[in-house]
Structure 1
Amino acid sequence: MPTGPPEASRSRGETSMIAYLLLLAGAAPAISTPDTPEGSGPPTAAADQDIVVTARRRNENLQDVPVAVSVVGDAQLQGTGTFNVARLGQLEPGLQFYSSNPRNSAANIRGLGAPFGLTNDGIEQGVGVYVDQVYYSRIASTTFDFLDVERVEVLRGPQGTLYGKNTTAGAINLISRPPSFDLDARAELSLGNLDYVQARGSISGPLVADRLAIRVAGSLTRRQGTIYNVATGRHVNELENSGVRGQLLWRAAPNLNLTLSGDFSYQNPECCAQIYVRTGPTQRPLNRQFDALAAAFGYAPPSLDPFDRLTDLDSELSARQKLGGVSLRAEWAIGPGTLTSITAWRFWDWRPSNDRDFTGLPITTISQNPSQQEQWTQEIRYAGTVGRLDFVVGAFGFDQSLDTQGSQVQGPAASRWLLNPGNVAPGSSGCATPTTNACNPAVLDGLTSTNTIGLDNVSLALFGQVGWRVTDRLRIQPGVRLNYDRKRGSYVAVVTNGAGSTVLTGDQRGVLAPQSYEPRFSDWNVSGDLTVSYDLAPRIMAYATYARSFKSGGINLSGLPLDANSNPILEAAAVAPERLNHYELGLKTQWFDRRLTLNLAAYRTEVHDYQATVTNGQLGVLRGYLANADLVRVQGVELELSGRPSRRLNLYLRGAFTDGRYVRFTDAPCPPELSGGTTAAAGQTPSPAGTPGGISPANCDISGQWLPGISRWSASYGGEYSIPLPGGGGGREIYLGIDGSVRTKFSSNPSRSISTDVDGYALTNLRLGYRNRGWDIMAWVRNAFDTHYFELLATQSGSTGLVVGQPGDPRTYGLTVRWQL
């Protein structure tokens, strides 16, 4: 019975190619080279190397911003096939994105932001996602396909004194192409294997000359699923996305612009399956672990090799969601600055269905949490310059309401799978003589939990930042934030047995427990930061930052752990705010007439009362809840290189070393290999890990262990070489591009387990294309070496030892045709 993850496959040729590219990028370094319109060729002047960003709420050269920020422009997004936030992680080593389905998604920067694991509605995101300055409160609502995006800015580190909603780990800033008073039309069609089809287009132009302009964009993505369900004869984990976005720009006055925006996206894939990977040891009695239980039913997974991509899930799979909203942005140039107001309303409608026993057996026949969210945001901000002072001051209001209607139903196989028949002979199923509840299917068959969950979340803030140019070289930039948060929740779980009665036995309550509680949280906090930057020489800037930041407290809205009498532990209903101390040193440089850029950042972040999603050994609907770890530390170094050694060649390399650990977490839930046995009484010594029928500790000290989801080493790299073709009046060229990403092993469980480490892997993408003025025809291969890798791993509840996972995409290939007026 294997206990460790299989090695990710990588050909010797791929390893050699990666090593060569890293050596080449290091010798002729390069960060983000500027993006150029299709057909325009590479930049010919050093001045073209300037990249303008709005990371600090004003237009600035990227190299003048004393913040660790990376920019991915339209050309790189298109060339690498990066059409959503999830794929952005392959370009940005400091960004981690994990998702078992759209609702259970998390975006982290430098390993911080959201707890790793299943989403809990009562917690804040530490990474702020902004689309055209509108805050998106749910990561699930950012799983849309990019619609007419001009660039993406990824800011690393706390940003609470610049952005409306507090962002303790960083921010992802998506900027769309604005409406144009010149006619602008774009179209794109991609076809590939797995029946892949993606069509995107946009058009913009004036409605009233110099006064009113419009822009409309749309996208459609379809792809066959990458996993085959032998039970239904259909492929699952497919793509089925569509979206539309419109913007109307009114120049109401020479110094006043009003932009009205609206968008709608719809997704309805048959998704999301997690499939058999392996089994690992636990301390549950051996005849109650996966292999013995499966044998008792005469059951075997359709394949023991997850990269055969087969499953037999017997419950419906669905990940249907609708999301969208409207916003009005007013920008009024008045006095020494610009007054900006952004009013926005957004909604998210989630209609899922899952198979949470991860097998073809009728253990859990229904598991779903349909959810509807609405949010209102209002931000008012004034930014400008007075003498040697640059300033931003603003106010922000946020109101979110969320309603969830969850249900879980147990099937006829649940009794034997979930209940303990007592002491039985080794190797016996315990049901040769059906005298126990575990041997009676009727005990749990039809047991149903119906959950009604509500959340009302309000946040208010005042924030500001001042940049003082003390001399031509020295700048001091303090910032401050005052924040108020209030959360009110409700969780009601009504449990009925197969006969529809709410009168339950102890075994039934141990699997699905009735719960009713109303958690509350409210608090004020003050945070701030201070940055000092100094120009050591022309185009060489050093900076140092200290930030004291807070992440709002949370409430548990996924059910509470149970006491010995199967009653919810109400003390776990709320979790304390996170308190961060962040230290950073950075260096931004350009060389050789700005054809070579080298940026470095070193940081250390200490998080007190870190909000973790933890799991326990209980059997039922509860799969994870929130708890505070005393102290967490993340520290690391980041490198960004970009350059253009010649007119026709550009290269980039982004690398990160990240060390994330629990410094002090003494009462954490135990990993699977220490769970499932009899809980140790006072004075008892727990059994060694993986002892069947052993004694399990009540909790574990995981101080010093890795934080989940963090690879110690990660990198992305790539380049493009173009060859001009004669004739056609110039502008014709062919090009060859390569992009890749590498990451080392990471933990996929909140308490690190020998069963759920994900091995490191490398991905390589290739492209070959032809450009001629407004046309671009590109053939591409992604995951060119068909590397086998997992996006994440998870365990089955109840300490059975089953480990499931999501295999990453196999090799895909296709052709893309783009046209621009």
Structure 2
Amino acid sequence: MFMSSPTRSRFQLAVLPLTISLAYGTIAFAADGGLEEIVVTAQKRAERLQDVPISISAISGSQLENRGIQNVADLSSLAPNLQVSSTPGNASTSQIAIRGSVTHNPALIFDTSVGVYLDGVYLGKSQGSVFDAVDLERVEVLRGPQGTLYGRNTIAGAINLITRKPSGEWTGSVTFDMGNYGAQVIKAGVDLPRLGIMSLSLGYRDEKRDGWVKTNSGSSVGQLNNKDSQNFRLVANFDISRDLKVDYKFDSTKMSQSSALNQLWRADSWLYQSSPMLQAYGLTQATADLIANGNVAQYASQERKTRASVDGPSYERMNVDGHALTVSYKLNDSNNLKWIASERTMRWADGLDLDGSPLPIAHTQRDSHYKQNSHELQWQGNTERLNYVLGYYTFKDEGFTRNPQQYFNREWDMTSNYGFTTKVDAWFGQLDYKLTDAWTLTGGLRTTEEKKTVDRLQIFGMPAFGMSIVKVPAGTHAAKTFQSTTPMLSLGYKVNTNLNFYGKYSEGYKSGGFNGESDNVVDVTTAYKPEKVKSLEGGMKSTFADGKAQVNVALFQNKVTDLQIPVFVATTGSGSIVQNVGKSTIQGLEFEGMFAPMDGLRLQLGYGYLDAKYKRFMDNGVDQKDNRAFVHAPKHSFNLMADARLAKTSVGTLRGIVDYAYTSSFYLYPYQLATPGSTNYNPGYADAAATKIGASGLWNMRLLLSGIPLGHKGDKAEASLWVRNLTDNKKVNNMIDFGPGFGSLSQAYFTQPRTYGVSLSYKW
């Protein structure tokens, strides 16, 4: 249906070892040794995972803890066709791709392709989305457009982070981790005894780790790639009456650490002479000589560095506070009202030595302020054959970024500021109607109106020449209103309680906006269009072998119009502009499932396949659909896990856990595929091959002794030895490429090296 013969042959070879088709999801043992039933809230109500007619993976809190998964960035490749990485230079900003759809630029003004939600609250931006959530109960990964129930900016899917509710009893835990690079993590949580109508839970996490990149004498900082963050969480549940419940949640994250190494990957030997842009603007002879004599190319390396010299600002700071209030009222046995109100504020800043060398070539800083608030009202109900949810959602945000940039011994000095606002109003509804005991028809619709504004200032200064050029004057302002309607229709057939089939049509869209990083007034004030997708999906969900196995399969095809491509530009400064370049088709396959073949052993294996192509890619009036790389769309990705009980002893149960995640090669930038010497090669345009990430896999292992009895009845302890990136894979996971106009200066960002340590915990 979707694949050519050669592709089908390669696909069959890849799938043969995966015939048990087990995906990375939540697994726990039931009392009879089978798989425990999993409940998710992907459709705004509690349902069995196997009954939800969408492609979804759920990862439990114990699985998250055992695999060392603390935040969104750790999820990469752990669900089919899911890619997650930190953005270049930053540990607190995510870049998430699902089924080949991604937002490449993390700047505060741009919107995401994957919605991230914390206990039902939308996290509006990539910046600040990587934080260590305390007391995670599970993570749900929803693949495919979620435009009906989740709205804008879920064109690729959504990730739900769900935290644990207070128990109302005196319980708690303390965990201490120690590892190489001086790593220390302290986690503590406590549930207080119920006091009248209130149940209270408190949690805290503190992490510190030395940087795995040391710097040479004379550098601006002593280390890079270190960690220093603190997280706090408070949850208070109030049972006002039998029918009225109020939940308040507060989370806070503070981070202050050095940035990642911007490792120089490549550069022309004579940067000044090779760049027509630099020659056009000019430098003093002293600076030109400094750059030429310094020969930046000598600092380039395509092997992971653990020692470097940097001269620019290299830091990352974040302070985020979030408040959420949920009020639930039971109208009767069949109808409930829910109101979710939230407010989040963020102060975020970084400084990057973009050339990764001791030469004063490229330094940038960003200082961002962001605030968002939202309200969502839901009416959920059911009759004998009908389930429904109706609602209204409103969202406001505002942000401002000051982005000074300095180049070439500060002879280029950029003043670059932008601010923005967003106001969203949406109505939505979804109905599930049981046509018969076997057939269920589901329909949904969401209408959205959003108003956006932008304010921009950019000044290009050359202090050495006593000159400054106002590229975008103060007072530059634009506003635009976008509207969209996103429907969904699905049909499910339940053969029996253990076998379901479904077919689904859905639409989604990623918001339009303004190019707040541009140095051109027209680009700043001219809005780009929303990106839209029409998606077809068919799937099967099955449970067999007396409840000891589950196998889920999904096929999908996404057709995207007004495709948004962020184009990195290095004209009078670094930044990106978004362009609507045309159309694309992304289709593929996903396996997900789980096995418990014998008591004490569970196995998981997941596989994702992607076939992504441009149908139109307009660049300067020419259709380049066959000469541009499709980004963040690896053809193959898979993951496997084995969790085995090795022994039961008087001092606890010994378990071994091994997991492996693999991703085939993919491109990071939509650059030209043509190679030097071919007829359609453009020497003034960047090469896709220069930012191609090779295929790689990562192994993690843990040996865990659980259920260690202590003196008090019911108190338990755990001890484990763990290692991540067992083989010390030196994988590049992101890059920046300035292109030929800036001497082909490129930086690479590596995954962290092998880490290992011990974890001790006590629970009461």
Partner of 2:244: 256
Query: Structure 2 vs 1, CA of residues 299 and 354 (structure 1 numbering), >3 Å: closer, same or farther?
Result: closer
Q: Which has the higher strand share?
A: 2
Q: What SS does the corresponding residue of 1:63 show, helix, strand or coil?
A: helix
- In structure 2, what is the Cα distance between the partners aligned to 1:571 and 1:265? 33
Residue 292 of structure 1, CA deviation:
12
CA contact (8 A) 1:294 1:300 kept: no
State yes or no: 1:469 paired with 2:423: no
State yes or no: 1:793 paired with 2:749: no
* 1:699-751, Cα deviation, whole Å (9 max, x unpaired): 772446442122110111111111332436xxx21111101100111101132
- In structure 1, what is the Cα distance between the partners aligned to 2:371 and 2:761? 36
State yes or no: 1:311 paired with 2:311: no
- In structure 2, what is the Cα distance between the partners aligned to 1:76 and 1:65? 21
Residue 337 of structure 1, CA deviation:
2.0
- In structure 1, what is the Cα distance between the partners aligned to 2:180 and 2:722? 11
Residue 515 of structure 1, CA deviation:
7.5
State yes or no: 1:544 paired with 2:508: no
Partner of 1:357: 355
- The partner residue of 1:815 within 753, 758, 764 is 758
Residue 72 of structure 1, CA deviation:
0.6
State yes or no: 1:594 paired with 2:532: no
State yes or no: 1:725 paired with 2:714: no
Question: What amino acid is aligned across from residue 190 of structure 1 in structure 2?
Answer: D
- The partner residue of 1:483 within 448, 452, 470 is 448
CA contact (8 A) 1:303 1:311 kept: no
Length-normalised TM-score, structure 1: 0.82
Query: Structure 2 vs 1, CA of residues 300 and 449 (structure 1 numbering), >3 Å: closer, same or farther?
Result: closer
- How many percent of aligned residue pairs carry the same amino acid? 25
State yes or no: 1:266 paired with 2:254: yes
- In structure 1, what is the Cα distance between the partners aligned to 2:591 and 2:551? 7
Q: What SS does the corresponding residue of 1:594 show, helix, strand or coil?
A: coil
- In structure 2, what is the Cα distance between the partners aligned to 1:392 and 1:582? 22
Partner of 1:139: 126
CA contact (8 A) 1:219 1:243 kept: yes
- In structure 1, what is the Cα distance between the partners aligned to 2:474 and 2:91? 26
Q: What SS does the corresponding residue of 1:666 show, helix, strand or coil?
A: strand
Partner of 1:322: 319
Q: What SS does the corresponding residue of 2:128 show, helix, strand or coil?
A: helix
Partner of 1:453: 418
- In structure 2, what is the Cα distance between the partners aligned to 1:518 and 1:289? 28
Task: Point out the more displaced range, 655-664 or 78-87.
Answer: 655-664
Residue 633 of structure 1, CA deviation:
1.7
Report the aligned-residue RMSD.
2.7
Q: What SS does the corresponding residue of 1:213 show, helix, strand or coil?
A: strand
CA contact (8 A) 1:303 1:310 kept: no
CA contact (8 A) 1:243 1:265 kept: yes
Residue 659 of structure 1, CA deviation:
1.9
Partner of 1:615: 568
* 1:70-92, Cα deviation, whole Å (9 max, x unpaired): 00101111111111100111422
Residue 660 of structure 1, CA deviation:
2.2
Aligned ranges 1:288-299 → 2 under 5 Å: 296-299=293-296
Partner of 2:3: none
CA contact (8 A) 1:287 1:293 kept: no
CA contact (8 A) 1:271 1:319 kept: yes
CA contact (8 A) 1:185 1:820 kept: yes
- The partner residue of 1:661 within 613, 633, 640 is 613
Unaligned runs of 5+ in 1: 1-20, 37-41, 413-444, 562-567, 669-697
Partner of 2:724: 782
Partner of 2:10: none
- In structure 2, what is the Cα distance between the partners aligned to 1:298 and 1:578? 43
Partner of 1:409: 406
Aligned ranges 1:386-425 → 2 under 5 Å: 386-412=383-409
Question: What amino acid is aligned across from residue 183 of structure 1 in structure 2?
Answer: W
Question: What amino acid is aligned across from residue 213 of structure 1 in structure 2?
Answer: S
Residue 795 of structure 1, CA deviation:
1.4
CA contact (8 A) 1:165 1:396 kept: no
- In structure 1, what is the Cα distance between the partners aligned to 2:264 and 2:634? 23
State yes or no: 1:714 paired with 2:637: yes
Q: What SS does the corresponding residue of 2:418 show, helix, strand or coil?
A: strand
Partner of 2:198: 212
* 1:517-565, Cα deviation, whole Å (9 max, x unpaired): 323221222110101010234411110111122222111111245xxxx
Residue 513 of structure 1, CA deviation:
7.1
- In structure 1, what is the Cα distance between the partners aligned to 2:496 and 2:510? 37
Q: What count of residue pairs does the alignment treat as equivalent?
A: 714
Query: Structure 2 vs 1, CA of residues 700 and 316 (structure 1 numbering), >3 Å: closer, same or farther?
Result: farther
Partner of 2:527: 574
Task: Point out the more displaced range, 392-401 or 621-630.
Answer: 621-630
Partner of 2:5: none
Q: What SS does the corresponding residue of 2:193 show, helix, strand or coil?
A: strand
* 1:309-368, Cα deviation, whole Å (9 max, x unpaired): 33222101111010111111001111322211011110110121111333321123x411
Question: What amino acid is aligned across from residue 576 of structure 1 in structure 2?
Answer: K
- The partner residue of 1:107 within 87, 96, 100 is 96
Partner of 2:66: 79
Partner of 2:746: 803
CA contact (8 A) 2:472 2:519 kept: no
Residue 452 of structure 1, CA deviation:
2.7
Question: What amino acid is aligned across from residue 101 of structure 2 in structure 1?
Answer: L
- The partner residue of 1:748 within 650, 668, 690 is 668
CA contact (8 A) 2:442 2:490 kept: yes
* 1:464-496, Cα deviation, whole Å (9 max, x unpaired): 100001111100000000100110110011343
- In structure 2, what is the Cα distance between the partners aligned to 1:63 and 1:134? 25
- In structure 2, what is the Cα distance between the partners aligned to 1:71 and 1:581? 25
Question: What amino acid is aligned across from residue 387 of structure 2 in structure 1?
Answer: D
Length-normalised TM-score, structure 2: 0.88
- In structure 2, what is the Cα distance between the partners aligned to 1:28 and 1:657? 16
- The partner residue of 2:209 within 223, 231, 249 is 223
CA contact (8 A) 2:703 2:721 kept: yes
Residue 46 of structure 1, CA deviation:
6.0
- The partner residue of 1:343 within 341, 345, 351 is 341
* 1:204-235, Cα deviation, whole Å (9 max, x unpaired): 133414x2100011111111112222242722
Partner of 1:526: 485
Aligned ranges 1:154-233 → 2 under 5 Å: 154-163=141-150, 167-209=154-196, 211-230=197-216, 231-232=218-219
CA contact (8 A) 2:111 2:153 kept: no
- In structure 2, what is the Cα distance between the partners aligned to 1:374 and 1:287? 40
CA contact (8 A) 2:596 2:603 kept: yes
CA contact (8 A) 2:641 2:660 kept: yes
Q: What SS does the corresponding residue of 1:615 show, helix, strand or coil?
A: strand
Q: What SS does the corresponding residue of 2:743 show, helix, strand or coil?
A: coil
Q: What SS does the corresponding residue of 2:62 show, helix, strand or coil?
A: helix
CA contact (8 A) 1:660 1:706 kept: no
Aligned ranges 1:679-694 → 2 under 5 Å: none
- In structure 2, what is the Cα distance between the partners aligned to 1:349 and 1:102? 15
* 1:397-447, Cα deviation, whole Å (9 max, x unpaired): 0000101122122343xxxxxxxxxxxxxxxxxxxxxxxxxxxxxxxx443
CA contact (8 A) 1:615 1:750 kept: no
Q: What SS does the corresponding residue of 1:82 show, helix, strand or coil?
A: coil
Q: What SS does the corresponding residue of 2:127 show, helix, strand or coil?
A: helix
Residue 34 of structure 1, CA deviation:
4.6
- In structure 1, what is the Cα distance between the partners aligned to 2:622 and 2:311? 34
Residue 298 of structure 1, CA deviation:
4.8
- In structure 2, what is the Cα distance between the partners aligned to 1:750 and 1:383? 43
Query: Structure 2 vs 1, CA of residues 471 and 281 (structure 1 numbering), >3 Å: closer, same or farther?
Result: farther
CA contact (8 A) 2:519 2:572 kept: no
Partner of 2:282: none
